[in-house]
Amino acid sequence: MNKTININLGGFFFHIDEPAYHILKKYLEAIANSLSDDPNGKDEILADIEARISELLSEKIQDNRQVVNEEDIQSIIKIMGQPEDYADVDEGYTEYHSSYQRKSTVSKKMFRDGDDKFLGGVASGIGHYFNVDAIWIRILFILLLPAGGFSVYTYIILWVLVPEAKTTAEKLQMQGEPVNIDNIEKKIRTEFENVSNKIKNADYSGAKSVFQNFIDVLGKILLRFFQLISKFIGIVLILLSIVLLVAFIISAFSFSTLEFIGLNEGLMSNLPFIYQSVLPSWLLYTCLFVAIGIPLSMVFYLGTRIVSKSVKQMSKVVSLTLLGIWIVSFLILVFTGVEYHSQNAYNGSKVYSNTLPITPKDTLSIKIINNDNLFFQNRLYRNNDQTLVTSNGEEKIYSNHLYFDIKKSENDSIYLKIRKKSEGSNHQNAIENADAIDYNYQLNNKQLVLDSYFLSPIQNRFRNESITITLYITNGTTLYLNNSTRNFINHYPNTKGVNISKLIDHHLLMTPSGLDCTDCNIQTSNTNI
């Protein structure tokens, strides 16, 4: 007596008894397996095959018999052929070269062996995988026990992560045997024999089974516990990656929109390498996006995989493609980083020396002014900040990185030295970059008017550029430092022995012993106290 099952095969309705149903099901699964090289046509081919099988079956069931039995299925398999016969004919030409190889390289999968287990079947699973008797793996686990509980952790982790071989196909994969009808049948038969043997020997194994049951229950509780923990970890991973992804996408969008509408001043201190690279900035932004986005998406995907078993494993093609894209963009970024560092590896400066048409007895007043039309500054002082400005329709970097020095002239002339400093990929390049700095001053009727800023091309933004103005004056020349120089001037020794910033807005005479303030009453009294 057999149970029957109702099936719909290719649009026909059949009663089929249980053993026959299992054989048919395994058969169709095996066909699907052997067609897996051809993912496009697979479903269509399977539908055709099902239709044909149903046709053959309905020809067979024309007598009074109503139920499809094992014999019918076997004869149909005889007509249709073994699953191997379904492999595409293309392979036919090379079949007997590859068929032997295929047997030896049948993909083995790690499963826990539920039929041969002491705790969770981990050891016997490993044994199957490496073709070693499970007892050696068990001995290894026990020997490693004193080593800081390492084997305990390993065992528990493997117990949780490695699935148990449940279906016949999985059991065959575990043992590294190809999944085909013959093997499935063989396997089912030996399993059946095992079960009947066990029943026969039930009396002997009774004592052990109590212990085994206890272990099984304990194992199930542990397993459940770790599954819960792993679900929790999965949820944390999902939430984390979503937050990061959203933040990342928003920031990426704001970057690119800022870039588009030209409001990228805020970016000036960010992502320096992007502005100096030989590669276009859109490519670098894309790479940055990919290099961060792909790992984040993978974390998200991992989380969903942990939480839900129904999320499918990523196909090899997809994962390899993603990996490839990631590696490429990572390499581009590394290249850009190296490029950026080598870009600024050398310092260089360009010095201009201009004699000022001033006689030593004159009084030279010095003023530092800003161009408020370019960039308004409430308070002028030396600093390293940079701002994007438009000068004569061209975008330039505006900087107040200006040093002002006073020195004694070695000859009889009064002159100004302007030293422009920059960096570059080599010395020559650094000098060229320094030369590209745009700096101006004016001499109006014995008043030296220095610009408080310099302009530089955008691509030299991160080269740590600066300007040093050195005024060389002779003995007997009087200087008058305007208040505006206060925040730029470097110290110079003076007869009052105070910081030069205290001598601003006074007349200073250059003497052999330093600058002498000729109208500083307060300073004198200060030094007396």
Partner 1 sequence: MKIENTKAQMRKGVLEYCILSILKNGDAYTSEILSSLKNAEMIVVEGTIYPLLTRLKNAGLLSYRWEESTSGPPRKYYVLTENGSIFLKELHQTWGNLVNAVNQITSTKNKENE
Residues of this chain that bind partner 1 (CB under 8 A): 10-12, 31, 35, 38, 40-41, 44-45, 48-49, 51-52, 54-55, 58, 78-83, 85-90, 92-93, 95-96
CB of 23 to partner 1, least distance (A): 16
Non-local CB neighbours of 377 within 8 Å, separated by 6+ positions: 370, 400, 452
CB of 5 to partner 1, least distance (A): 20
CA-based nearest residue to 222, from 157, 312, 294, 291? 157
90 or 185, CB closer to partner 1? 90
CB of 43 to partner 1, least distance (A): 10
- Stated as kind and residue range, the H or E segment containing 65 is none
Structure tokens at 504: 């601003």
84 or 516, CB closer to partner 1? 84
Name residue 227's amino acid: Q
Measured between alpha carbons, how far is residue 236 from residues 54, 395, 448, 475 in Å? 49, 46, 66, 76
Residue with tokens 């004699």: 355
**Order of strands, sheet of 386-391, starting from the edge strand that comes earlier in the sequence:** 386-391, 394-399, 454-457
DSSP string, 204-252: HHHHHHHHHHHHHHHHHHHHHHHHHHHHHHHHHHHHHHHHHHHHHHHHH
10 or 19, CB closer to partner 1? 10
CB of 98 to partner 1, least distance (A): 12
Task: List the alpha helices (DSSP H) in 262-315.
Answer: 272-276, 281-307
Chain-centroid distance, C-alpha 234: 19
Chain-centroid distance, C-alpha 296: 7
52 or 187, CB closer to partner 1? 52
- Stated as kind and residue range, the H or E segment containing 24 is helix 18-34
30 or 467, CB closer to partner 1? 30
CB of 24 to partner 1, least distance (A): 14
Structure tokens at 485: 């120089």
15 or 350, CB closer to partner 1? 15
CB of 16 to partner 1, least distance (A): 17
CB 298 within 8 A of CB 311: no
CB of 179 to partner 1, least distance (A): 16
92 or 497, CB closer to partner 1? 92
At residue 477, φ and ψ (nearest 5 deg) are: -90, 140
CB of 34 to partner 1, least distance (A): 9
CB of 10 to partner 1, least distance (A): 7
Residue with tokens 């001499």: 443
6 or 131, CB closer to partner 1? 6
Distance CA 264, CA 44 (A): 55
Quickly count: other Cβ atoms within 10 Å of residue 384's Cβ: 10
12 or 439, CB closer to partner 1? 12
- Stated as kind and residue range, the H or E segment containing 354 is strand 346-355
40 or 392, CB closer to partner 1? 40
78 or 200, CB closer to partner 1? 78
Name residue 211's amino acid: F
Distance CA 524, CA 115 (A): 103
CB of 25 to partner 1, least distance (A): 17
37: left (phi > 0), else alpha (psi -120 to 50), else beta?
alpha
Distance CA 436, CA 463 (A): 12
Name the β-bridge partners of 514: 511
Distance CA 13, CA 44 (A): 20
CB of 37 to partner 1, least distance (A): 9
Distance CA 250, CA 350 (A): 43
Name residue 470's amino acid: T
CB of 21 to partner 1, least distance (A): 20
10 or 514, CB closer to partner 1? 10
CB of 22 to partner 1, least distance (A): 20
54 or 344, CB closer to partner 1? 54
Residue with tokens 């053993």: 19
